[in-house]
Amino acid sequence: MEATRHIRYRTSVGKLMTFNLSWAQLISGQSRQLWMETATNLEYMREYDCMWIERIRLALQKSNSTLWVAKAWNPEGQRQHDSFLMDRLCEAGYTQAQLAHIN
Protein backbone atom coordinates (compact mmCIF):
# COMPACT_ATOMS: atom_id res chain seq x y z
CA MET A 1 0.00 0.00 0.00
CA GLU A 2 1.51 3.24 -1.14
CA ALA A 3 -0.52 5.19 1.42
CA THR A 4 1.12 3.44 4.35
CA ARG A 5 4.58 4.30 3.03
CA HIS A 6 3.69 7.98 2.93
CA ILE A 7 2.21 7.88 6.43
CA ARG A 8 5.11 5.91 7.85
CA TYR A 9 7.83 8.16 6.44
CA ARG A 10 5.90 11.36 7.27
CA THR A 11 6.13 12.77 3.75
CA SER A 12 4.08 15.87 3.02
CA VAL A 13 1.45 13.61 1.45
CA GLY A 14 1.61 11.32 4.49
CA LYS A 15 1.08 14.24 6.86
CA LEU A 16 -1.96 15.31 4.88
CA MET A 17 -3.29 11.74 4.88
CA THR A 18 -2.81 11.53 8.65
CA PHE A 19 -4.65 14.82 9.05
CA ASN A 20 -7.52 13.52 6.88
CA LEU A 21 -7.61 10.26 8.82
CA SER A 22 -7.83 12.21 12.10
CA TRP A 23 -10.61 14.37 10.63
CA ALA A 24 -12.52 11.26 9.51
CA GLN A 25 -12.04 9.80 12.99
CA LEU A 26 -13.64 12.89 14.50
CA ILE A 27 -16.51 12.87 12.00
CA SER A 28 -17.15 9.14 12.52
CA GLY A 29 -17.79 9.55 16.23
CA GLN A 30 -16.16 6.16 16.81
CA SER A 31 -13.89 5.47 19.77
CA ARG A 32 -11.52 3.12 17.94
CA GLN A 33 -9.13 4.05 15.14
CA LEU A 34 -10.86 3.56 11.80
CA TRP A 35 -8.22 1.16 10.48
CA MET A 36 -7.97 -0.80 13.72
CA GLU A 37 -11.64 -1.75 13.93
CA THR A 38 -12.95 -2.48 10.45
CA ALA A 39 -16.10 -4.50 11.20
CA THR A 40 -18.35 -1.49 11.86
CA ASN A 41 -20.20 -0.28 8.77
CA LEU A 42 -19.47 3.42 8.25
CA GLU A 43 -21.70 4.08 5.24
CA TYR A 44 -23.22 6.96 7.18
CA MET A 45 -19.98 8.88 6.48
CA ARG A 46 -20.31 8.75 2.67
CA GLU A 47 -21.50 12.35 2.46
CA TYR A 48 -18.11 13.45 3.84
CA ASP A 49 -16.19 11.91 0.91
CA CYS A 50 -13.80 9.70 2.88
CA MET A 51 -13.76 7.00 0.21
CA TRP A 52 -10.00 6.42 0.20
CA ILE A 53 -10.15 5.75 3.94
CA GLU A 54 -13.09 3.39 3.42
CA ARG A 55 -11.30 1.55 0.60
CA ILE A 56 -8.33 0.88 2.88
CA ARG A 57 -10.75 -0.25 5.62
CA LEU A 58 -12.36 -2.71 3.19
CA ALA A 59 -8.97 -4.08 2.11
CA LEU A 60 -8.00 -4.53 5.75
CA GLN A 61 -11.33 -6.20 6.47
CA LYS A 62 -10.97 -8.64 3.56
CA SER A 63 -7.47 -9.62 4.66
CA ASN A 64 -8.51 -9.80 8.33
CA SER A 65 -5.87 -7.18 9.17
CA THR A 66 -5.63 -3.93 11.08
CA LEU A 67 -3.43 -0.89 10.75
CA TRP A 68 -2.48 1.36 13.65
CA VAL A 69 -1.39 4.90 12.78
CA ALA A 70 0.68 6.34 15.61
CA LYS A 71 0.21 10.02 14.77
CA ALA A 72 -3.51 9.84 14.03
CA TRP A 73 -5.82 11.50 16.53
CA ASN A 74 -7.97 9.15 18.53
CA PRO A 75 -10.62 10.31 21.03
CA GLU A 76 -10.42 9.31 24.66
CA GLY A 77 -13.08 9.26 27.32
CA GLN A 78 -12.89 12.21 29.69
CA ARG A 79 -14.50 10.55 32.69
CA GLN A 80 -14.92 7.09 34.11
CA HIS A 81 -17.68 5.13 32.31
CA ASP A 82 -17.75 7.54 29.33
CA SER A 83 -18.98 6.05 26.07
CA PHE A 84 -19.19 7.26 22.49
CA LEU A 85 -22.63 7.89 21.04
CA MET A 86 -21.87 6.59 17.56
CA ASP A 87 -20.39 3.37 19.00
CA ARG A 88 -23.59 2.82 20.95
CA LEU A 89 -25.87 3.76 18.05
CA CYS A 90 -24.06 1.46 15.60
CA GLU A 91 -24.39 -1.39 18.08
CA ALA A 92 -28.10 -0.59 18.64
CA GLY A 93 -29.01 -1.45 15.05
CA TYR A 94 -29.93 1.93 13.56
CA THR A 95 -29.99 2.07 9.76
CA GLN A 96 -27.20 3.85 7.90
CA ALA A 97 -29.63 6.60 6.88
CA GLN A 98 -30.63 7.13 10.52
CA LEU A 99 -26.96 7.16 11.59
CA ALA A 100 -26.17 9.75 8.89
CA HIS A 101 -29.01 11.94 10.12
CA ILE A 102 -27.99 11.59 13.78
CA ASN A 103 -24.32 12.17 13.08
Domain boundaries, the chain: 2-102
pLDDT in tens, 23-74: 999 999 999 999 999 998 888 888 888 888 989 999 999 999 999 888 788 7
Distance CA 87, CA 94 (A): 11
pLDDT in tens, 75-87: 888 888 888 888 8
The dihedral sign for the CA sequence 27, 28, 32, 35: negative
For 76-82, the CB contacts below 8 A with 24+ separation are 77/31
Contacts of 8 (CB under 8 A, 6+ apart): 14
